[in-house]
């Protein structure tokens, strides 16, 4: 019976042979995709302190529809930085 460590060794040996012995996987050679942040209304409320009229979010943040409604209702302005 193979143990977990033996299976990992077999996989790593196979991967190192298929890449010309370099040991690098295809995942390391590719550029990672840009990370996008999804903000729900609950997370947006945590970012906004009482009395604040602006909230700073990352430039690539995705805001949920409910959070957009909450922003409009409370008159909060979003600053993307």
Residue extents of the structural domains in the chain:
1-32, 33-81
DSSP state of 64: -
pLDDT of residue 20: 56
Banded model confidence at residue 19, pLDDT cuts 50, 70, 90: low
Mention every residue, 6+ apart, whose C-beta is less than 8 A from residue 64.
38, 39, 40, 41
Give 32's pLDDT tier (boundaries 50, 70, 90): low
Verdict on whether the full-model pTM lies above 0.85: no
Write down the pLDDT at residue 37.
84
- Tell me: pLDDT of 33 over 80: no
- Supply the mean pLDDT for the chain: 78
């Amino acid at each position: 019976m193979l143990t977990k460590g033996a299976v990992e060794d077999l996989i790593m040996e196979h991967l190192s042979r298929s890449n010309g012995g370099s040991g690098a996987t295809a995942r390391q050679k590719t550029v990672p995709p840009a990370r996008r942040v999804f903000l729900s209304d609950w997370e947006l409320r945590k970012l906004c302190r009482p009395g604040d009229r602006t909230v700073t979010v990352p430039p690539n943040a995705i805001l949920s529809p409910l959070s957009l409604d909450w922003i409009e209702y409370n008159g909060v302005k979003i600053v993307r930085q």
